[in-house]
Structure 1
Amino acid sequence: MIAFRDVDDADPALLHSPIVRAIEKTFAYIAEHGGIALTPSKAFKRSFVHWAAAQFEWPGYSEADLFAVNKVLNEMDFGPLMDLHDMMIALKIGRHYKGKFKLTRSGQSLVGHPGRLFGIITPFYLFEVDHLRFSRRGARPLGNWDIFLNVLNVEAEKGATGGDIRRALYGEPDNNRFFDETLSSLYVQVLRPLCWTGLLHENRSDGLSRTERSMFTKTPLWRTALRLATDGKLRPRTLH
């Protein structure tokens, strides 16, 4: 069982969380505009999606990144925003009402409380959300969150590349394959969600081997929020 510590609302480590930052900005937008206008299919309207692209400053999904491949933005063009929308509905933070997305009483109680928000959103996002829905490949990495977090607790202490983490968990990749499906699955389902919650930071690399060469480090939020079996212990054994 992964144990999360409570994070104080005033803890500056929360600034490392893209999810918390984005939801807090969404709360402020709702307060100013009386809700978020919805399309007939109950997606966020383009006006809000464009606003979110500019305001969220989401890693890998900046306004420039998104408009480089889209002339206009619908919610489905901004994957992290779709995740936030779905999570806020699932956690009853918000609801659809008369053509708008509005906060519930539970959601209103989280306004101004980023630490409590992080404690609710993060376990749900890591352990319950289907991170494969934006992936073209359906393979799941061998292991579970207890293994992933405890291995990363040691490997990423001073920073580790995606390739380092892949080898720590599964050994060397097959050099005869152009595409490392294991590393891709590990990134989509483990490393990227941890970055988006703010527990890891990715120093992104460029090119075809970006994930392999990108450097991952634990943020102050990792040390603040997580209690793990490998805290202060020896390096875990690998899975291969």
Structure 2
Amino acid sequence: MELQLGMWQYLGMIKFSTLSDDHPDLAHSPLLRGALLTLQYAQTNGSIGLTQTKAFKRVFVHWAVQNFDWPGKSAEEMFRYNKVINEYEFPPLEIIHFLLISLRLGRHFKGEFRPTKRGIKLAQSPGHLFAELIPYFVLQMDHSSYARFENRPFGKWEVWMNVINVEADQGTTEAALFEIFYGEPQDWHTAGWREMAVFSACVLRPLEWAGLLVETREEGGSKQICHVFKTPLWRSAINLDTDNMLRPISVQ
């Protein structure tokens, strides 16, 4: 089912649910997993060392690369070409560091990163940490700040997420979503590849890192096709105006 452009003006609030700490769908979120591991590491070891520029020292960066299990950034791949990795070379960790400081779950003190009392508490409560971390990351961060492109895509999260809620319910493609939002068929093989890249980096990738979407790529002739699906976490954690347009999930 496709949403007509005229419906966009009626799409409203995004509501995130607080899930129980043992909810199985939380395992779909790489960002939550990385934040939990960072806070737990700092608590176990007392702190995480910082460089003079207040980035995490390489010893922890290497540990994070090996333990985060980040999609598309396996330790084997990361270390294949770089034996020494800095925080800025592992963007997910750089973002997690920023989020923990911004949300006052951690602080810098005398050359070290230390979890705050609140950070220590939430490190033991994945459901509540998700509720603090993910809405802030998705809805309030400037995602163009860590992308390779300075431009931001035109639009707002209420529209993007309500439309994706319907269009990706049974699976769609990156190019199909771009065409729905912007009216022009573009992909990585057309002159509009830059606009596609900005949309992917600032809308689809944050949702994937949050654990709400999953993207798979396959070769289609001479082109690579990116398929987009909602994860179970999307269904568990988000309430949207377009939920009543979804097909019921059949139970086998």
Settle same-fold status: TM greater than 0.5: yes
- Please say if residues 50 and 73 of structure 1, whose CA atoms lie closer than 8 Å, have aligned partners that are also in contact: yes
Aligned match of 2:19: 7
Query: 1:90-169 to 2 correspondence within 5 Å?
Result: 90-169=102-181
For 1:127-149, what per-residue CA distance to the aligned partner results, in whole angstroms no more than 9, with x for missing partners? 22221123332222221100000
Q: Deviations over 1:61-110 (max 9, x none)?
A: 22123223423101111011000001100000000112211100110110
Q: CA deviation at 1:188?
A: 0.6
Code of the residue aligned with 2:66 in structure 1: it is A
Deviation by residue 1:132-186 (Cα, 9 ceiling, x = unmatched): 1233322222211000001100110011111111122122336994342222111
Mapped to 1, the partners of 2:246 and 2:65 lie a distance apart of 42
Q: Give the whole-Å Cα distance in 2 for the aligned partners of 1:22 and 1:132.
A: 21
In the alignment, the residues of structure 2 paired with residue 168 and residue 117 of structure 1 have an alpha-carbon distance, to the nearest angstrom, of 33
Partner of 1:238: none
What secondary structure is seen at the aligned counterpart in 1 of 2:18?
A: coil
In the TM superposition, what are the counterparts of 1:21-32 in structure 2 within 5 Å? 21-32=33-44
- Map Cα deviations across residues 176-231 of structure 1 (whole Å, 9 max, x no partner): 94342222111111100001011111123469955xx1111111110111111111
Among candidates 226, 231, 234, match of residue 238 of structure 2: 226
Give the direction of change, closer, same or farther, for the CA distance of 1:234–1:25 in structure 2 (3 Å limit): closer
Say whether 1:45 aligns with 2:53. Answer: no
Structure 2 portions without partners, runs of 5+:
1-12, 248-252
Greater displacement, 123-132 / 12-21: 123-132
Distance 2:243 2:186 in 1: 32
Q: TM-score, normalised by structure 2?
A: 0.86
CA distance in 1, matches of 2:186, 2:203: 21
Query: How many residues are matched?
Result: 233
Aligned match for 1:203, one of 216, 226, 240: 216
Of 16-25 and 172-181, more deviation after overlay is shown by 172-181
Equivalent pair of 1:166/1:183 in contact (CA under 8 Å): yes
| Partner amino acid, structure 2, of 1:203 | T
Inter-partner Cα distance in structure 2 for 1:145 and 1:187: 14
SS for the counterpart of 1:214 is strand
SS of match in other structure, 2:144: coil
State the percentage of identical aligned residues. 43
1:185 maps to what in 2? 198
Q: Separation in 2 of the partners of 1:137 and 1:185?
A: 7
Q: CA contact under 8 A between 1:173 and 1:180: conserved in structure 2?
A: no
Code of the residue aligned with 1:127 in structure 2: it is: L
Indicate conservation of the 8 Å contact 1:200/1:216, yes or no.
Answer: yes
Q: 1:178 to 1:102 in 2, by over 3 A?
A: same
Unaligned runs of 5+ in 1: 236-240
Q: State how far apart, in whole Å, the 1-side matches of 2:162 and 2:223 are.
A: 25
Give the TM-score normalised by the residue count of structure 1. Answer: 0.90
CA RMSD of aligned residues (A): 2.1
Stretch deviating more after TM superposition (159-168 or 188-197)? 159-168
Distance 1:198 1:113 in 2: 17
Task: Measure, in 1, the Cα distance between the counterparts of 2:88 and 2:52.
Answer: 14
